[in-house]
Amino acid sequence: MLKSGTMPQGGLTHDAADYGHEEVTHPVLGVVLNVYCSDDPLNTLAGAFQDIRGPACQARVLVVNDGTDQPWILPNVIITPSSSSGADNYQEELPKGVSQSIDGSVFNSAFKDVAMNKLDGD
């Protein structure tokens, strides 16, 4: 309940601790961990349509430089085309997700003690 005594609409409330990715107010640098195509079950846009095909691909991104020393994950980043795109000139260039270490060292999928510049993702 608000101080005015009214109830806020559910869609207008959120807990900043649970939705930190919505508070991004400046560009950040990250490594693409996973790419979810438009019909992937992990693509949150796909579930919004009856044919289970979303309008865009999404990525899970590990933010490595946002002005702090703490890496964090953006879970559903929409991948936009690199130039204008439409029905007559559709194009898509998907980034590559992380699959291994480029120097052959052991790849820890939890990213604990991993040098970000040694990951093979875009």
pLDDT digits (tens, 9 = 90+) for 22-49: 567 777 888 888 999 888 889 888 877 7
- Let me know if residue 30 belongs to a domain: yes
Q: Say how many domains are in the chain.
A: 1
> Which residues are 77's β-sheet partners?
59
Domain membership flag for residue 3? no
Domain-located, residue 10: no
Q: Is residue 106 part of a domain?
A: yes
Residue 65 forms part of a structural domain: yes
| Contact call for residues 73 and 32 (beta carbons, < 8 A) | no
pLDDT band at 13 (very low <50, low <70, confident <90, very high): low
Does some domain include residue 38? Answer: yes
Asked whether residue 8 is assigned to any structural domain, the reply reads no
**The model's pTM:** 0.67
Residues 32 and 74: their CA atoms lie apart, in Å, by 10
Range of the domain at 96: 15-83+92-116
Examine residue 78 and state whether it is found in any structural domain, yes or no: yes
